[in-house]
Structure 1
Amino acid sequence: MTELGNRLKEAREAKGYSLDDLQRMTKIQKRYLIGIEEGSYDAMPGKFYVRAFIKQYCEAVGLPPEMIFEEHKEEIPTTYEDEIPVSLSRVQSRKSVSESSTKVFDFVPKLLIALFVIGALIAVWVFWQGKVGDKAPETQPSENQEQVAVDENQTAESEEPEEETKETEETGENKPSEDENAKEEKEQKPEQLLEAVNTSGYKTTYELKNADEFKLELSAKGDTWVGVYNTEDELLFEGLLKEGNKKDFDFSSEKVAYLVIGNASNTNISVNGSQLEYKVSASDVVRQDIIINYEPKATQ
């Protein structure tokens, strides 16, 4: 057991907390808490989360995380900090490649536009030549033919209002259009409401209202560790999601969904198809706990 592990364990025991108590408070699995106390970080879902878990542990037992990190910096892995330059170098590489190919891509639209204009001019010229060659002298219609055409148009126009008037008199009212019915139905049906009602540190509480169901989707934009709990605080899922991985949950029969997001910047949360917005900046707080209280829509 390391010096840091002894210090954390002593602080926990001084508070009278068991490992099970600390697990309920922090939502960090017991085996990870044991790994922190024993200095065995290989059991963690990734070295990226070691510092985040130690910070949560310190806050739970009343120790200042900044001071602990400074005094025990030789014992705590710094892999997360080392990975940042690697990520930046990848971004710079992609940027240089993009800049080198920009000149080529800038020329292509101009070439296409020029070809399009030339083709349009040729098409207009061909059409005009054909029209001039095929044009035949038009015969002037006689006065009788003009009079018949006018009479027929007047007759057709006079008949349409009579038919509409007859239909209106039979029904007694104008028939609402489908667009009007859809608009009235939309006005009567309240839209789903998902809003943040409380934020405290790394925890944010939301309320979901006017929803017939509560379907949740977690999707990863990069490596992220997540934990999902239901109303009874039962663990439904825990694990590391890779880029492109998704997890779906149906909380329609639950009142609360508790989500532990290990890396908020790499995790999208969708509720009934609408993306949840983090109230705490994901760049400021790596781990975030999201609590969603569900109030089922009242039946009319």
Structure 2
Amino acid sequence: MSIGNSPEDERPFEDVSEEFRPSIGRALQQARIAAGLTVDDVSSATRVRIAIVHAIEADNFAPCGGDVYARGHIRTLAKAVHLDPDPLLAQYEAEEGGRPAPTPAAPLFEAERIRPERRGPNWTAAMVAAIVAVIGFVGFTAFRGGDSGSSAKTQVAEGTTPTSSKPASPTPKSSKPAEQKPQPSDSAIAAAPQDKVTVQVSAANGRSWINAKDHNGRTLFDGLLKKGESKTFQDSAKINLILGDAGAIQLYVNGKKIEDQFQPGAVERLTYTKGDPQVG
């Protein structure tokens, strides 16, 4: 024991610092004020709604829509006010709960395996097959017809109509794929079988947290979708979605584009089933 020091002076320093550590919302608010920014400035820069910024600065994380979105908003706001987000996230986990359980690997792979089933006809392979058929038929005719077959082969190679009646038959075969080639459309992008519900989520206007579950409540995806990325989910009955920033998302449901005007920063909970798209 040191001479002249009372027992109170010997208390550990960390107890005092812990007691006076500012809350997450208070730390973000002080950093914003120190940076000379208003709530409107931060909202415009991060696409987080003004009401959510006010709520977080008041340590009210309920409007965020869950722990995943709360962590995302804390990280985004901290970067906007030039603050290191890691200590704030660690403080949030200590005060509000631990990290969520990782998404099982199997549902993710199932979601990725859906994509090959929605591919349209392979017109390139069809055209190659037609050309091979034409060449084979011309070769067979040349072998059987001598000079007349050679003349027909030359005419086909130059793009003219053959004089004999037999070689003329391959012409419709080679032109058939070109006549049936479909025009690109929004519905073709998300074409899906009618006996299932298929949802394509694209981060067309920015990044957003996405949570997708099937009709049994099993998680298909739970994570951040970066700008330009897309995910496709399929189920026999129903797909449940939570969009962290619905304004950044473009949806195709059962082969149809969803035209709902979602607001930037809005958290949307949606349900889609087989048939015409319907917002749940």
Give the structure-2-normalised TM-score: 0.39
More helix by share: 1
Higher relative contact order (CA 8 A, sep 6+): 2
More strand by share: 1
Give the structure-1-normalised TM-score: 0.36
